[in-house]
Amino acid sequence: MASQTGAIVQQSLNALMGDSTFLPNLQEQAREQAFLSLAAILSTPNKVHKAFLRITIDNGNVVRIPAYRIQHNDTLGPYKGGIRFHESVSEDEVTNLAALMTLKNALHEVPFGGGKGGVVINPRTYSAKELYLICKKYVQYFSDVLGPDKDIPAPDMGTGEREMDWMMAEYKSIHPGQPYLGSFTGKSVINGGSLGRREATGKGVYFAFRYMLHDFLKEQRSWLAGSTNPFVQTALAHADRPLSIAVQGFGNVGSVAALEAYKCTYLHNKVVAVSDRNVTLYNPDGLSVPALLEYAALHQGDLPATEAALVALDIKAQILGREEVLYLDVDVLILAALEEQIHKDNVERVKAPIIVEGANAPVTGEADVVLTAKGTIIIPDILANAGGVIVSYFEWLQGRETQFFSEDQVYKMLYDKMQKTLNSILPAYFGDPLPLRQNCYNHAVMKLSTMLYRQGKLY
Ligand code: GLU
């Protein structure tokens, strides 16, 4: 587990250990022993599966591609988490992401454990046929440890419904006669996927931000008014006025979050910047997100990156370097690209007082400390980007019953679930100046610890 996740989990455990009302039957030596067990369980994955997928690429050469499935913890239910295709995938990275899934599911009361998979490739450099073979081989190599009641993968960076359809089909061939709809989530709707799954993460990201900074604050204003908590002051300074928003990443999460912000006209928020792997587009008067989405859909997901392309679209924007999105003078920065985007070497340049983590782990532990000390509100990954796994859970349920929900039902259930979590976290956050990330971890760790204790696992 990366040091940041591990360190925050340990702080949660320290707080729980010192709270005599938590598991009061555990005392003295037994208490110490139980918390040592908890630390050991949560800081290491249950199982690490690694394989070298052997495929014949289009030029006839045979290659071996490293691939992982890491099963972190299954206290709450079957392991659950995406499979990413990216060239920087490593065992450490996937292990940390699997641990984040354990915490995310516990935080939102999704009845799954935490897992994650990865394949070390840049999918843009492989043909569709090669990617198909990689997906098939991934399922063949890991088929014994996957399944609707064992471990349920989903899309992550570099994968989507096409890959999940291929993988589910392979799982079905390997396990004839067994239930297969719940073996993978994030499938296409025609193959048993859920309406709204593709948009779920981005919609949830915008919802978490909107609910916290608008709906919740509006209700709670009276008791927060005199607070000296720096996060309350940051929040109140940004409540009830239009906000400028910059979004890093224009993929499945960033583009949907940007569109939600654009469409949320009653708040008059303005999307002033978006970025992708090539450029940042910036216009302080606001960008037309629908026009950019249309362009990206026709250009393999890329944003227009030349003056000529912008003129043709009738979009006015400055073209800046791709990293510049991080340093703009905006109210809200949504990070929906890769991990470790804000780190110790660039954190001083970040101006946004509100940061929303659409990606997993986009702020390093060192940067987190610097931002938190400034009173920056960081809505952390496990809180903000859980829309994907929440709707994956609905997809899994629908697959079990072969009864499908309407898109409106899915979004209503998604927002209800996220709102319930936010309502259980925000009063403590605004009442006590602990970073939101720590509050969320405390909540998740408390749930996991209680269950492990009641299951007799803390010896
Ligand atoms: N990959 C997504 C995440 O990091 C979704 C996982 C899932 O749907 O299982 O949360």
Q: Provide the pLDDT for residue 190.
A: 97
pLDDT of 266 strictly over 70 = yes
Q: 119: helix, coil or strand?
A: strand
405: in domain: no
Q: Please compute the mean of the pLDDT values over residues 57-70 and round it to a whole number.
A: 98
pLDDT of 159 strictly over 80 = yes
- The CA 80 to ligand 1 mean position distance, Å, reads 8
Q: Please compute the mean of the pLDDT values over residues 408-437 and round it to a whole number.
A: 95
Q: Are 101 and 73 in contact (CB under 8 A)?
A: no
Q: Select from 170, 193, 216 the last residue of a domain.
A: 193
Between the alpha carbon of residue 214 and those of residues 237, 424, 454, the distances in Å are 12, 16, 38
- The CA 450 to ligand 1 mean position distance, Å, reads 24
61: in domain: yes
* Residue 246's pLDDT band (cuts 50, 70, 90): very high
Q: Provide the pLDDT for residue 265.
A: 84
Assign residue 205 the CATH number of its domain.
3.40.50.720
Q: Select from 165, 193, 221 the last residue of a domain.
A: 193
Strands 79-85 and 332-335: unpaired
Q: Tell whether ligand 1 has an atom less than 6 A from the beta carbon of residue 105.
A: no
Q: Please compute the mean of the pLDDT values over residues 398-412 and round it to a whole number.
A: 96
Q: Provide the pLDDT for residue 433.
A: 78
Q: Provide the pLDDT for residue 27.
A: 93
Residue-wise pLDDT tens digits, 9-41 = 999 999 999 999 999 999 999 999 999 999 999
Q: Are 339 and 223 in contact (CB under 8 A)?
A: no
Nearest atom (ligand 1) to Cα of 100: 4
| 150 catalytic per annotation | no
- The CA 307 to ligand 1 mean position distance, Å, reads 36
pLDDT of 186 strictly over 80 = yes
* Residue 224's pLDDT band (cuts 50, 70, 90): confident
Q: Which among 198, 201, 338, 357 is the best mutation to test ligand 1's pocket, defined by most ligand atoms within 8 Å of the CB?
A: 201
Q: Are residues 159 and 131 in the same domain?
A: yes
Q: Are residues 94 and 228 in the same domain?
A: no
Q: Provide the pLDDT for residue 223.
A: 84
Q: Which among 89, 101, 103, 395 is the best mutation to test ligand 1's pocket, defined by most ligand atoms within 8 Å of the CB?
A: 101
Nearest atom (ligand 1) to Cα of 391: 8
Q: Are residues 187 and 244 in the same domain?
A: no
pLDDT of 3 strictly over 80 = no
Q: Which among 80, 94, 112, 156 is the best mutation to test ligand 1's pocket, defined by most ligand atoms within 8 Å of the CB?
A: 156
Q: Are residues 151 and 242 in the same domain?
A: no
367: in domain: yes
252: in domain: yes
Which pair of structure tokens corresponds to residue 395?
């997809």
Nearest atom (ligand 1) to Cα of 80: 9
Q: Are residues 93 and 73 in the same domain?
A: yes
Q: Tell whether ligand 1 has an atom less than 6 A from the beta carbon of residue 80.
A: yes
- Picking from 406, 356, 365, the residue whose alpha carbon sits closest to that of residue 386 is 356
The whole-angstrom separation of Cα 99 and Cα 6 is: 9
pLDDT of 2 strictly over 70 = no
Q: Provide the pLDDT for residue 4.
A: 81
- The CA 135 to ligand 1 mean position distance, Å, reads 17
Q: Are residues 217 and 165 in the same domain?
A: no
Assign residue 159 the CATH number of its domain.
3.40.50.10860
The whole-angstrom separation of Cα 72 and Cα 340 is: 21
Residue-wise pLDDT tens digits, 167-181 = 999 999 999 999 999
For 287, residues 6+ apart whose C-beta sits below 8 A from its C-beta are 271, 272, 273, 274, 281, 315, 317
pLDDT of 413 strictly over 70 = yes
Q: Tell whether ligand 1 has an atom less than 6 A from the beta carbon of residue 182.
A: no
Q: Provide the pLDDT for residue 164.
A: 98
Q: 155: helix, coil or strand?
A: strand
Nearest atom (ligand 1) to Cα of 153: 9
* Residue 440's pLDDT band (cuts 50, 70, 90): very high
Domain membership of residue 243 as a residue range: 198-387+419-444
Specify the residue with its C-alpha closest to ligand 1, atom 9.
81
Of the residues 80, 104, 116, 270, only one is catalytic, namely 116
Q: Are residues 303 and 220 in the same domain?
A: yes
Helices and strands of the chain, counted as H and E runs: 16, 12
* Residue 358's pLDDT band (cuts 50, 70, 90): very high
Q: Provide the pLDDT for residue 221.
A: 83
* Residue 1's pLDDT band (cuts 50, 70, 90): low
Q: Are 143 and 179 in contact (CB under 8 A)?
A: no
Q: Provide the pLDDT for residue 255.
A: 98
pLDDT of 226 strictly over 90 = no
Better-scored residue on pLDDT, 431 or 389: 389
Which pair of structure tokens corresponds to residue 213?
């900074």
- The CA 418 to ligand 1 mean position distance, Å, reads 15
How many structural domains compose the chain?
2
Torsion angle defined by CA atoms of residues 221, 225, 227 and 232, in that order, rounded to the nearest 10 degrees: 50
Q: Are 152 and 82 in contact (CB under 8 A)?
A: no
Q: Tell whether ligand 1 has an atom less than 6 A from the beta carbon of residue 185.
A: yes
Nearest atom (ligand 1) to Cα of 360: 4
Q: Please compute the mean of the pLDDT values over residues 343-361 and round it to a whole number.
A: 98
Q: Please compute the mean of the pLDDT values over residues 161-166 and round it to a whole number.
A: 98
- The CA 237 to ligand 1 mean position distance, Å, reads 33
Mean of per-residue pLDDT scores for the chain: 96
- The CA 349 to ligand 1 mean position distance, Å, reads 30
The whole-angstrom separation of Cα 307 and Cα 313 is: 10
Q: Provide the pLDDT for residue 207.
A: 98
